[in-house]
Structure 1
């Protein structure tokens, strides 16, 4: 081993002081899981669908709980209810509470796992923005009203212009008569050239024409069918009435024949009675 002197130590000391200190050891990355970042709050113009979802859930839960009535509970557990009615009431109450808590928890888990509220809020935002863009576009580019929209009310200036347009130009009587003759001649010539007139298109027919061309024949056919059915029913009724009269006549004849035979029997009985009486009188006289 070499022995270091004081001078060598003093020489080495400034070198050690000039050297920079060693860097600190790098920290090991922590294996702990970082907490999940919560979803950023979404600004919605007007929440519509998320409250509706909550309302639907509340109504469904209420309807489900309304089915657990005391009568249904007693039918499910008749023996315990008959023996311990108060305890079974408490059991039913706790069952409803636990059922409601579990349903609410499951619903909240589904909503949070699938991010339903955020999706519904985004949908509300998209729809509201689309409506605003549509309104802005209609303001910048006004469009003509649709045929079904009511027409705008005319202003006094428009009324005056229409009245001026509707005023016919005054023409002399001779010129008007000549024009009428010319139009008639041109119409006759056009008819002769074109031949038979073309049928009127359906969209130009009036309501009365449509009624006469489509509905009237159907009604006539139905009325004729009803009339034939009525006549057939009347004929069957007449046949039944005739049969009834014939049966009544037969019954009267049978009654008359029976009465005649009964009269004959009565007369025979009276004759036998008279004979017996005469025999009795003769025996009495002989005695």
Structure 2
């Protein structure tokens, strides 16, 4: 069995995923737990040691952590690095975790200052580094669906800029805490036709600004009032409206020449792919192991792990 030379942990808000890396960069073991930074019941160092033991890592095996563990609410704050940023820039921003029984480094997040308000990401930067080898030197647009979806521009080994959209969180808030939720059946499954209809409605309203989406969202209620929308399809229609509006804004007036790279869970990535392609935009879905490739790239550049 190959020796573990690095433990990498993608440590988020609610969950974590930990990996044992062999000297060739392959993942020889992995584990996951529902113990993100908001669900901690023991000190970070103690939980990390449990993970290292489970993964079969020796006492002197270093660890590299990314994600919300580096936020102000995490183990230690790893300050944001302003885009554009390279692998070397992220390595320079690595922070040592305090009171750790082994060498532990934490990856910084990224910020963008190009808009009217700052934008931030934490954890996605590691996934993006895992994409670099596969997208070449030309500029590419990356879509990273989630609670706060990120749209990122990459080129020539650099993370150029990005924008965040609160689509996932706004959808949950509208569904659970507004009058629109009354139109939605509990436990309804995804309705592809209703979703596509929502995407099309959002496209038709393109150019009307954010007020246009707000008007369309009210239609989820009124279509139900007039018995023109099955409650079982209401959530899918609303999802299509919101994702369609997000994609239209993120793409701007000129679709990208290269396919948009979609990075995320299988179900959500499929919805963004379907919505983008309905709007005439080609996509490709990234491999699920890009976070591990990013962790390994950072560890190698920081001389934390060697072949």
TMscore range, shorter length: under 0.3
Higher helix share: 1
Ranked by relative contact order (alpha carbons within 8 Å, sequence separation 6 or more), the top structure is 1
Q: TM-score, normalised by structure 1?
A: 0.14
